[in-house]
Amino acid sequence: MLYCKGLSRFHKFLGIKFRIKLRAKHYEKVGVIFDPKDGIGNRIFGLMNVLNYFTPDELDIFWDDKNWVSAKFYELFETSFKTKINEYNDKEKFDIATKGNNLIIEKPDVCLKTLKRKSLGLKYDRIKKSIFLEYQKNFQYLKPKAGLIEKINQNTPKGNFVALQVRNAADWEDFGRNEDLNLFVSQMEKAAENGTVYLSAMDEKVGTFLRSNYKGQILELKNKNYKSMQDAICDLYIMAKANKAIYSFGSTFGELAFWLRKDMQQVVIVGSQKKWINKKKLKKNKE
């Protein structure tokens, strides 16, 4: 059995650590351990990387449902992949089930990788249509749970609208990732021209600020529970229906909505890495 982190194997020789990236290769049975701290977007992109790279016949996933993502994979999605996906929410049961697997991957890479090992992450607003059409195929096999479809349809704005996703939240604030909300307002005025905007946010404060600074209509999921994973999936698939979108830089949630479409969404990404604080440096400073 091969065991790797990301899409690489780590080695140590003469006290020096180095890593070797795995090559794209077919494996019959693969196991994946998602980081409990990762959100929906991070996990799905890791899943897609594994499917693209290793084309497994069967895939066992450890999907923690008691931390950031408080719902099981099959409570949120239905799939029609050629690969059979078995979900485990208990690590011990996962370990037992995967003893005979050919490959185990812990924390698969988040940024969508091409088979030439180039990353499409953070650059999805600039990719060529040919690349989009090639890599969006697997995303079409990922659908919302049947029980969520009615809610998605009922909350999808009628007529043209612009999708807006603002990732600002406390967990990003410590690392300088929250962006000035006025930047989003500016892009809303350009893209929506004071028309209808569908908002996906992490809390009520964002919507309150935007409504007081934007002249057009801002809609959100009716009676939204900001901690509900099911409501997050509704947001995700509603955003994917918009022809135009404004997404937070570095957020895989908005990026996932982009890839769920059959055709390319016209996207504006708000923010950059300029203000981001390195997590390792922050940890050393605290110590």
CATH class for the domain made up of 128-283: alpha beta
Position 11 confidence tier, pLDDT thresholds 50, 70, 90: low
83-117 b/e (C-beta count within 10 Å ≥ 16 → b):
bebebbeeeeebeebbeebbbbbebbbbbbbeeee
54-68, 106-120, 209-223, 255-269: which range is least confident on average? 106-120
pLDDT one-digit tens code per residue, 142-164: 999 999 999 999 999 999 999 99
Mean pLDDT (whole number) for 112-122: 66
Both structure tokens of 24 = 């794209």
pLDDT one-digit tens code per residue, 255-285: 999 999 999 999 999 988 777 766 555 454 4
- Determine contact, residues 118/109, Cβ cutoff 8 Å: no
Which 3-state string (H, E, C) describes 118-132? Answer: CECCCCHHHCCHHHH
> What pLDDT is recorded for position 117?
60
Determine the Cα–Cα distance for residues 3 and 31; give it in Å rounded to an integer. 9
What is the chain's mean pLDDT, rounded? Answer: 89
User: For the chain, which residues make up each domain, given as ranges?
Assistant: 2-106, 128-283
How far out from the chain centre does Cα 74 lie? 16
pTM, two decimals, is 0.90
Q: Looking at the predicted structure, is the pLDDT value of residue 123 above 80?
A: no
> What pLDDT is recorded for position 262?
93
